[in-house]
Amino acid sequence: MRTYNQSSILFKKGKKHLVGAVNSPVRAFNSVGGNPIFIDHAKASKIYDVDQNEYIDFVLSYGPMILGHQHKKVAKAIGKTLSKGYTFGASTEKEIELAEIVANALPGVDKVRFVNSGTEAVFSALRLARAYTKKSKIIKFVGCYHGHADSLLVQAGSGLATLSMPTSAGVPKESVRNTLVANYNDIESVKALFKKHDDIAAAIIEPVTGNMGVVLPQNNFLKKLHALLKKNDALLIADEVMTGFRAKFGAAIDFYDVKPDIFCLGKVIGGGFPVGAYAASNKIMNLVAPLGNMYQAGTLSGNPIAMAAGISTLKELKKSNPYPFFNKVGKRLKNTFKEASKQNNIPIQVNHFGSMINPFFTNKKVRNFDDVKQSHTHYYKVFFWEMMNEGIFLPPSAFESWFLCTTLTKKEIKHTQMAIHKAIKKLSTTKF
């Protein structure tokens, strides 16, 4: 049995000057019980806490560390850039280089604007959609999380779902009056909104969700959505902050033969550093200042360190093409869950997309947030700690995707499979 003495000490110390001793609610262990662990260092697919417990990392900073921790080429690029300075408040060549890589990887994209987070990318994209269409309302989908901007904290997934909060305190009704909510994988719910409103500027969606767990579009949902938006002169915004470059070198929405009007990106494109971006065609992006009158600015946008890390990460992904490997490992883990479920009579559904995977403790197929909420989250609490004790670091929430990295070894994969079997067996003997 592992001990977490030093993490407990830091947790108590951190509560004095940090809110809940964390800087993001998802790092708290409220939904799985116990105190959060504190990390000391990481290398490749392994992460180590302050008690020197070793874990195979399936959190990967919630997505960015797709090449694993401290990848040699990325570290070299960061070091070289650091030696020249940290930030300048002026443009650098690296911004141009990363923008070119991103634009060439995404359909219909001519220009990119870098920002500092996925949240910033999203609310900038919404402003841009409104500027372009000259309309006010935005459609979002139940269970999809697009950052903590006031207008989008309505029926959001991820941390809000974990904390059982349908919205956030401090968000006035006026901030969400132009936000309309539809159901993921339910085109009729979108049609109903268009029947009631004639001033819808855009719909924003995670093409494959990761913030209510991994949920994939069904029955040509994305194609139907895109066609409906076009018919009503509204834009489609693809929030690929999580899914961008995770299942292919490019966008997840490519798999569904849909070309959105605006992309939002983050995580992988920064190689582990704070970054976000929104991107679109010249026709749309030329509305952004200094070319147009849609204003958005940021002192640290396009930070050279983040740009260097992103360039190196994307170049390595393109060169190594790890996506067949991700699919193979994801299918292998999915089959392991199926075997363990059958052997122990524990209800499990596993959704898998590229390098993202998520088990749900339910017999019902998971296609939307209502399905997600019906899963047995109390099973996940036991499962989580059993996996931790076996040296597997997972998201401390049943509503978060697991991530795969390129540095996973055969030995680590086998150990993870063994741990899954042991944890599911433990569930079968636990009284709830």
For the chain, domain boundaries: 5-66+322-428, 72-319
Q: Which of 132, 145, 278, 379 is catalytic?
A: 145
Average pLDDT taken over every residue of the chain: 94
Neighbours of 393 (CB within 10 A): 25
Q: Which of 267, 371, 380, 381 is catalytic?
A: 267
* Phi and psi at residue 48, to the nearest 5°: -130, 130
51 is catalytic: no
161-166: long-range pairs with CB below 8 Å, 24+: 161/212, 161/369, 161/372, 161/373, 161/399, 162/25, 162/26, 162/30, 162/31, 162/397, 162/398, 162/399, 162/400, 163/25, 163/30, 163/31
For β-strands 54-57 and 46-49, DSSP reports them as: antiparallel
Q: Which of 49, 186, 239, 371 is catalytic?
A: 239
The yes-or-no verdict on residue 161 having pLDDT over 50 is: no
The yes-or-no verdict on residue 173 having pLDDT over 90 is: no
- How far is the C-alpha of 108 from the C-alpha of 263, rounded, in Å? 10
The pLDDT of residue 174 is 75
Helix then strand then coil, in percent of the chain rounded to 5, is 40, 15, 40
199 is catalytic: no
pTM of the model: 0.94
pLDDT digits (tens, 9 = 90+) for 289-345: 999 999 999 999 999 999 999 999 999 999 999 999 999 999 999 999 999 999 999
The pLDDT of residue 1 is 74
* Phi and psi at residue 173, to the nearest 5°: -55, -35
* Mean pLDDT, range 154-164, rounded to an integer: 45
Please name the residue that has the structure tokens 């987070």: 117
Name the H helices within 181-322.
187-196, 221-231, 282-285, 304-320
The pLDDT of residue 167 is 65
Environment class of residue 92 by beta-carbon count within 10 Å: exposed (0-12), middle (13-18) or buried (19+)? middle
Q: In this structure, which amino acid lies at residue 151?
A: S
- How far is the C-alpha of 406 from the C-alpha of 400, rounded, in Å? 20
267 is catalytic: yes
Question: 248-270 b/e with 16+ CB inside 10 Å = b?
Answer: bbbbbbbbbebbbbbbbbbbbbb
Nearest to 393 by CA among 72, 96, 147, 49: 49
- How far is the C-alpha of 163 from the C-alpha of 318, rounded, in Å? 38
* Mean pLDDT, range 41-57, rounded to an integer: 98
For the segment(s) 72-319, the CATH number from 3.30.1330.10, 3.60.21.10, 3.40.640.10, 2.40.160.40 is: 3.40.640.10
Q: SS3 for 238?
A: strand
Environment class of residue 163 by beta-carbon count within 10 Å: exposed (0-12), middle (13-18) or buried (19+)? middle
Q: Which CATH class is domain 5-66+322-428?
A: alpha beta
* Mean pLDDT, range 265-273, rounded to an integer: 97
- How far is the C-alpha of 45 from the C-alpha of 352, rounded, in Å? 19
